[in-house]
Amino acid sequence: MAEVRPLIKYDLNRDVHTAQVMASQLDPFVYENETYGGMPDDLPKLTIGGLLMRLHRLSLLDMLLSDEQREALEKAHQQVGNVKREWLTAYTNKIMHELTLHINQWNQLLNECGQDQDECREMYSSVVEKRVMAQVLTDEARKLNVLTPEIEKQLHGIDSQVQGYFTAGSFIWDQRLQSAYPQDQYGFLYVTI
């Protein structure tokens, strides 16, 4: 079996810019019914999971950031904090909705893996980001005291299935990100396919 190599090159500047724009558009997105928020240019769609994932890793990659990027990141954190204070119920509902969506997507993906393991291997590096988002949403739901045992059980089941399809291996994303994703919590990013 060949080791997975990142399919998507990590761009630190783009990540900071994306987090900054997502945070600036979180209000009114958080209380709208849309699952994905529109973003300018070719940036990824706005989701709370996508925003939290970026804020998480960028905070842990502080030593790689310029002063200007640190300021942008701090402002993004403040904007998220403001939205949480003003729209806590809407924010919480959005987190739980998106988390459920990611769990369902992963269950579907793993069903497809059972039918075509070669295709599963080919797309794993690019779709594993959804599992990372599910993890940061889980962490946020835990902080908000809304994480249910059922959701934790479902995520554990997903991770067990991943271990059934892939063996443990090296970090599959850009090595600069490894310190933000320890193997004990993000084992699904450390696989050999």
How confident is the model over 1-28, as a mean pLDDT? 80
Return the pLDDT at 3: 47
Give me the percent of the chain exceeding a pLDDT of 90: 76
The three-state secondary structure class of 46 is strand
| 127 vs 65, residue with greater confidence | 65
pTM, entire model: 0.91
Do residues 38 and 46 make contact, with C-beta atoms less than 8 angstroms apart?
yes
Name the band, by pLDDT with cuts 50, 70 and 90, for residue 4.
very low
How confident is the model over 74-90, as a mean pLDDT? 96
Q: Which helix (H) or strand (E) holds 191?
A: strand 190-192
| 3 vs 115, residue with greater confidence | 115
Return the pLDDT at 125: 81
pLDDT digits (tens, 9 = 90+) for 22-80: 999 999 999 999 999 999 989 999 999 999 999 999 999 999 999 999 999 999 999 99
Return the pLDDT at 85: 95
Name the band, by pLDDT with cuts 50, 70 and 90, for residue 8.
low
Name the band, by pLDDT with cuts 50, 70 and 90, for residue 127.
confident
DSSP string for residues in 150-174: HHHHHHHHHHHHHHHHSEEEEE-S-
How confident is the model over 139-152, as a mean pLDDT? 96
pLDDT digits (tens, 9 = 90+) for 150-188: 999 999 999 998 888 888 899 999 999 999 999 999 999
Cα 86 to Cα 74: distance, rounded to the nearest angstrom = 18
Tokens 């996508």 belong to 50
Return phi, psi of residue 76, to 5°. Answer: -60, -45
Return the pLDDT at 64: 93
| Domain extents in the chain | 12-192
Query: For the purposes of burial, counting CB atoms within 10 Å of the CB of 38, is it exposed (0-12), middle (13-18) or buried (19 or more)?
Result: exposed
Those residues with Cβ within 8 angstroms of residue 188's Cβ, 6 or more apart along the chain or in another chain:
128, 131, 159, 162
Helix pair angle (149-165, 88-115), 10° resolution: 30
